[in-house]
Homo-oligomer: A and B are copies of this chain.
Amino acid sequence: MRGTSEDWGHQPLLNVKTNLPMDEAVGVLENAFRARNFVLIIGECWVDYDGRASSTLEWGERVTIFKKDGSVLIHRPTGYEPVNWQPPKCAIVVNRRDSGILITAARSQPREIISIEFRNVSLVAVGSLDDTGDFALHVTEAQMKQAILIAPDLVEAGLTPLQQEKHVENAGFTDIYGEDKDGSMVVIEIKRNAATKDAAIQLNSYLDKIRKRVNRPLRGIIVAPDLRKSAQPMLQVLSIEFVKLDPEKCFSVLKTQKDMKLSQFIS
């Protein structure tokens, strides 16, 4: 069990204080910022921002978060977005003021500063968050591939994927091969982002390997949501084709598939 309001071992992982007198709060905060800890404050504050634009936020109760990477978030009781914020790499300074506590978070490039004055602090939580969990946003190249295998029309009418899994040798990209409606062999390289000329070069070297072993008409197609302008000439030169395919389209195919699977069980 993680430590919370009690010290636990030498370094408490999360130290929570309520109704802390200002003087003590300042000490806690100074230590926390010096140690680059995570800091969360709920309290009544006034916020000034100056930089690309400038703003003033008058007294009110908000949640303020200072992360160890120097990012700052100030949240009002409603709304998805922070009312004021600062991206990572800010320098944070705490000062005792007659009226309360003044915290400034400054960055350069662009030069911007937020100053937060607290005149009342309900909750201070300082410590560290242990978070190494993987984050994965799906609709990856793998999912794009899966979508194309389900609905080859996404690439072109009459396409028949042949494959599976087997490559001449791992070419370092997500691909499909198959036959088009005329019986030509087709190799598809999938990119989740706008395709660069590198993609074309990669696909071409793959095609070369195949040409050495197989003697039949061969087409190379890059499938991606977009084609980087600079890649255009390379495609020309290598006679590689480009097909635009948005991840959302893939997602909807996969979702439909999923829904169909579900409906089998539900029916």
Which A residues contact B (CB, under 8 angstroms)?
1-2, 4-6, 13-14, 16, 18-19, 38, 40, 42, 44, 46, 52-63, 65, 67-69, 71, 73, 75-80, 83, 85-88, 120, 122-123, 125, 128-139, 192, 247-248, 251
Contacts and interface: CB of A to CB of B under 8 A. Distances in A.
Copies in the complex: 2
B120 A123 contact: no
B4 A77 contact: no
Contact of A123 (B52, B125, B132, B133): B125
Contacts of A40: 40, 42, 63
Contacts of A60: 129-133
A18 B46 contact: no
Contact of A19 (B4, B56, B63, B138): B4
B2 A57 contact: no
B79 A69 contact: yes
Nearest to A254: B54
A120 B78 contact: no
B133 A57 contact: yes
Nearest to A70: B78
Contacts of A63: 40, 65, 129
B248 A52 contact: yes
Contacts of A68: 77-78
Most buried by B among A58, A61, A120, A128: A61
B79 A67 contact: yes
Nearest to A37: B77
Nearest first, the 6 A-B pairs at minimum CB distance are A60-B131, A60-B133, A58-B133, A4-B18, A77-B129, A61-B129
